[in-house]
């Protein structure tokens, strides 16, 4: 290793000390040169807006340009007393809870079934995963149409078995669940693939031993498969919770946050405060409250998974 | 957090999807039941596609008629597709999406691979700090940045421009991390041999490291492309002019503009879905293996 590096520095007669020094200098220059393009974008489009957003959140900056004076913590104080903000935050947490459970459980069930050695593997993978590749707007168009109270397929099928039509997206008690259903259809394939890959990495020997002990399919699933998947499940839950907390697209496209704000998410509220209300400063403050929530959740989950794997 | 994003990736072996276990190959009752359940689920999962297709192939009157018909009385017609292609902006939006997604993918790949190589191989002062900052940045949710980024784009005069759509989307700390993990596992001896020959860093990077990293570069490229193609929030914020919209954002405007033209809505949605479905059919194995081994596309 070291000999090759020295020879790379050229066959000059310079003392070893010098060569070492020049190599270090060279590495420093190369290192920063390789990093430079990434760092330029990183600084300009991530670090700077992050700082600028924080600064904005202390001002009355608006899209109309007026009143960008320093307000101190006024935006934060207003946000914490803003019932609409709390409502949106509550909706977001509610969505996260009721979407994460099916998105993990259904994915696990799908993977467990497909992993039983079924024929036509590619077909199942294709059907469950294909929706994940669609843009949110395509998914929303599909589901708004399926959920249509008069002409939609879902109410039509329900009608045939004698169930009264449901106004899926306009009933405040139902709308969030409809969005969960669309989200499940859209993204469960991703978790399914993660589970399937993890299951296929469980050594077959585990199952053979269990079979010799006479353990049936269910027993094997609960005593071998599930425990072996602990790490995977922890990872999927973390990714899912963080993804669900950021929900915006489907809600904005399918219900616009309605009816009566029943499905409005915190990201949608950030968007509306900034772009419909023109209050950039206030919107930035809510962004940072949301950021705080994400940080807390990330740290909590990091601590939990660390404890478990230790 | 970061570690969860980067499960094992090994050079030259991007696959963990082995053919499904050899156990229980015989037709047990359990397997028959499982097949039936999976088949029912799979059919359910295909219903939204199928229903959209049936609707798109109806006339507008038929699509909006009650009771709902599975096969239209007046027969199937491609009218909705031709109308949407002739009148709408779909071809322009498709081009915008294609161009911006390709540009985002190219730039992301270049800057991320360079950075990942430096973090993996070059011993320079500040490397650890940079690594920490990049990993920490994974926690920043993109929605937090939209307000200041929008303001920034206004002052850069980049609203309604390709620059505005592309530039903020090229930072992918997770991809840097995935690539670094991969580079870490390429044997150093391969580079040492080149160093003996007097090759510089750039040449080693281009002629030794990159060729060995083709599978992971392909996986990262596919993920970045899909992510950029489907991104809604940022292009939605940075574009206004109907001619500058990307496909997902354009579809959102169609919904309000066409109102109750259900057949045309579905035809537009299907046309928008088509390119990625084709990408998937072509790159099915890479996509599935990439997700299975890195689990990164969802971030």
What tens digit of pLDDT does each residue of A89-147 get?
999 999 999 999 999 999 999 999 888 877 778 888 888 998 999 999 999 999 999 99
- Res B84 pLDDT > 60: yes
DSSP letter string, A104-158: HHHHHHHHHHHTTT-S-HHHHHHHHHGGGGS-HHHHHHHHHHHT-TTT-HHHHHH
pLDDT of residue A135: 92
Does residue B18 belong to any structural domain of this protein? no
ipTM score of complex: 0.85
pLDDT tens readout for residues B18-62: 444 444 456 677 788 888 899 999 999 999 999 999 998 988 878
Residues B215 and B72 in one domain: no
Task: Examine the domain organization and report whether B99 and B241 are in the same domain.
Answer: yes
Determine phi and psi for A22, rounding to 5 degrees. Answer: -70, -30
In this complex, how many residue pairs, one in chain A and one in chain B, have their CB atoms less than 8 Å apart?
319
How far, in Å, CA of A262 to CA of A105, rounded?
25
**Residue at B8 is within a domain:** no
Q: How close, in Å, is residue A252 to chain B by CA atoms?
A: 10
Which residues of chain A from 275 to 304 reach within 8 Å of chain B, CB to CB? 275, 280, 283-284, 287-288, 290-291, 294-295, 298, 301-302
Residues B52, B111, single domain; the answer is: no
Of all residues in chain A, the percent with pLDDT exceeding 90 is 44
Residues facing residue B13 across a β-bridge: B10
Residue B158 covered by a domain: yes
Please indicate whether, in this complex, the C-beta atoms of B148 and A284 are within 8 angstroms of each other.
Answer: yes
Whole-model pTM: value is: 0.86
- Is B96 found in the same domain as B163? yes
Q: Choose, out of A1, A26, A127, A138, the residue to mutate when testing the contact with B (most B CBs < 10 Å).
A: A138
* Chain B CB within 8 Å of residue A70 CB: no
Residues B104 and B46 in one domain: no
Pairwise pLDDT comparison (A212 vs A307), residue with the higher score: A212
Residue B65, pLDDT > 70, answer yes
Tokens linked to A261: 């704000």
Is B193 in the same domain as B238?
yes
Contact A113 B34 (CB under 8 A): yes
pLDDT at position A2 = 41
Q: CB-based contact (8 Å) between B192 and chain A?
A: yes
B280 CA to chain A: closest CA distance, Å? 8
Rounded to whole angstroms, the Cα distance separating B208 from B188 reads 10
Average pLDDT over residues B84-103: 91
B196 touching chain A per CB within 8 A:
yes
* CB nearest B292 (choices: A47, A116, A194): A194
Domain extent at residue B231: 82-298
Q: Note the pLDDT of residue B256.
A: 61
Q: What number of H helices and E strands is found in chain A?
A: 16, 0
Which residues 177-236 of A are in CB contact (within 8 Å) with B? Answer: 185, 187, 190, 193-194, 196-197, 200-201, 204, 207-208, 211, 217, 234-235
Residues B196 and B112 in one domain: yes
Residue-level pLDDT at B7: 37
Angstrom distance (rounded) from CA B27 to CA B148: 60
- Residue B4 lies inside a defined structural domain of this protein: no
Residue A68 scores a pLDDT above 80: no
End-of-domain residue from the set B47, B77, B107? B77
Last residue of a domain, one of B59, B77, B95: B77
Q: Look at residue B152 and tell me whether its pLDDT is greater than 70.
A: yes
Query: Which of B61, B77, B93 is the endpoint of a domain?
Result: B77
Same domain, B64 and B180: no
pLDDT band at B110 (very low <50, low <70, confident <90, very high): very high
Asked if B144 lies within 8 A of A124 by C-beta distance, the reply is: no
pLDDT (mean) for B143-168: 93
| Contact assignment for B124 to A32 by CB distance below 8 Å | yes
**At residue B187, does pLDDT exceed 90?**
no
Instruction: Please give the tally of structural domains in chain B.
Output: 2
Model confidence pLDDT, tens digit, residues A163-207? 888 889 988 899 999 999 999 999 999 999 999 988 888 888 888
Please check whether residues B259 and B277 belong to one and the same domain.
Answer: yes
Residue B295 pLDDT more than 70?
Answer: no
Same domain, B43 and B89: no
Question: Residue B10: its pLDDT value, please?
Answer: 36
What local confidence, expressed as pLDDT, does residue B62 receive? 81
Average pLDDT, chain A: 86
Q: Do residues B163 and B49 share a domain? A: no
Report pLDDT for B22.
45
Place of tokens 């192939």: B57
Gap from A173 CA to chain B (nearest CA, Å): 23
Q: Assess if residue B261 is contained within a domain.
A: yes
In the DSSP assignment, the letter for residue B272 is: H
Separation CA B197–CA A152 (nearest Å): 69
Q: Is the separation of the CB atoms in A305 and A94 below 8 Å?
A: no
Indicate the residue of A46, A110, A208 with minimum beta-carbon distance to B41. Answer: A110
CATH of the domain at B240: 1.10.3720.10
**What's residue A67's pLDDT?**
64
Q: Are A156 and B51 in contact (CB under 8 A)?
A: no
Please determine, for residue A8, whether its predicted confidence score (pLDDT) is greater than 50: no
pLDDT at B237: 93
Residue B3: inside a domain, yes or no? Answer: no
Q: Is residue B116 part of a domain?
A: yes
Instruction: Specify whether B245 is located in the same domain as B183.
Output: yes
**Residue B1 domain flag:** no
């Amino acid at each position: 290793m070291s000999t090759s590096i020295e020879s790379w520095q050229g066959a000059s007669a310079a003392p070893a000390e010098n060569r070492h020094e020049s190599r270090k200098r060279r590495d420093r220059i190369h290192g920063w040169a390789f990093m430079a393009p990434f760092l330029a974008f990183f600084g300009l489009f991530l670090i700077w807006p992050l700082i600028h957003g924080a600064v904005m959140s202390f001002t009355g900056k608006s899209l109309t340009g007026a009143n960008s004076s320093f307000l101190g913590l006024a935006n934060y104080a207003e946000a914490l007393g803003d019932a609409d903000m709390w409502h949106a935050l509550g909706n977001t947490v509610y969505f996260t809870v009721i979407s994460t459970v099916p998105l993990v459980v259904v994915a696990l069930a799908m993977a467990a079934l497909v992993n039983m050695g079924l024929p036509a593997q590619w077909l199942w993978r294709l059907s469950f995963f294909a929706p994940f590749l669609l843009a949110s707007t395509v998914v929303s168009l599909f589901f708004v149409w399926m959920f249509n109270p008069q002409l939609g397929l879902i109410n039509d099928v329900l009608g045939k078995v004698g169930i009264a039509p449901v106004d899926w997206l306009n009933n405040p008690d139902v709308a969030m669940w409809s969005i969960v259903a669309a989200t499940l259809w859209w993204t469960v394939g991703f978790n399914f693939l993660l589970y399937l890959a993890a299951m296929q990495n469980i050594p077959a020997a585990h199952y053979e031993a269990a079979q010799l002990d006479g353990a049936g399919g269910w027993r094997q699933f609960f005593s071998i498969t599930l425990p072996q998947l602990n790490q995977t499940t922890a990872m999927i839950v973390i990714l899912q919770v963080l993804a669900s907390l950021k929900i915006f697209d489907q809600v904005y496209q399918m219900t616009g946050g309605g009816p009566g704000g029943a499905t409005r998410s915190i990201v949608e509220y950030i968007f509306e405060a900034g772009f419909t209300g023109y209050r950039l400063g206030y919107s930035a403050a809510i962004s940072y409250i949301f950021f705080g929530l994400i940080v807390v959740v990330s740290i909590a989950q990091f601590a939990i998974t660390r404890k478990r794997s230790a | 957090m970061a570690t969860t994003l980067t499960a094992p990736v090994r050079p030259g072996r991007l696959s963990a999807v082995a053919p499904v276990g050899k156990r229980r190959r015989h037709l047990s009752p359990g397997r028959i039941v499982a097949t039936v359940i999976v088949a029912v689920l799979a059919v359910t999962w295909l219903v939204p596609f199928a229903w959209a297709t049936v609707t798109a192939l109806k006339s507008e009157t038929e699509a909006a008629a009650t009771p709902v018909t599975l096969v239209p009385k007046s027969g199937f017609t491609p009218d909705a597709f031709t109308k949407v292609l002739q009148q709408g902006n779909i071809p322009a939006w498709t081009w915008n999406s294609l161009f911006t997604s390709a540009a985002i993918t190219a730039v992301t790949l270049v800057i991320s691979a360079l950075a990942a190589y430096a973090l993996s191989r070059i011993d320079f002062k500040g490397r650890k700090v940079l690594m920490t900052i990049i990993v920490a940045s994974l926690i920043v949710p993109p929605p937090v940045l939209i307000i200041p980024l929008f303001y920034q784009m206004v002052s850069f005069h980049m609203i309604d421009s390709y620059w505005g759509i592309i530039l903020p989307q090229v930072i992918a700390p997770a991809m840097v991390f995935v690539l670094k993990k991969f580079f870490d596992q390429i044997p150093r001896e391969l580079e040492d041999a080149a160093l003996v020959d007097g090759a510089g860093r750039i040449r080693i990077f281009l002629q030794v490291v990159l060729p060995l990293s083709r599978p992971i570069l392909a996986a990262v490229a596919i993920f970045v492309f899909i992510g950029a193609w489907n991104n809604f929030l940022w292009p939605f914020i940075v574009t206004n002019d109907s001619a500058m919209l990307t496909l997902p954002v354009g579809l959102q405007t169609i919904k309000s503009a066409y109102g109750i033209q259900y057949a045309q809505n579905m035809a537009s949605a299907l046309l928008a879905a088509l390119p990625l479905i084709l990408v998937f059919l072509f790159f099915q194995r890479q996509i599935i293996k990439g997700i299975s081994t890195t689990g990164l596309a969802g971030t």
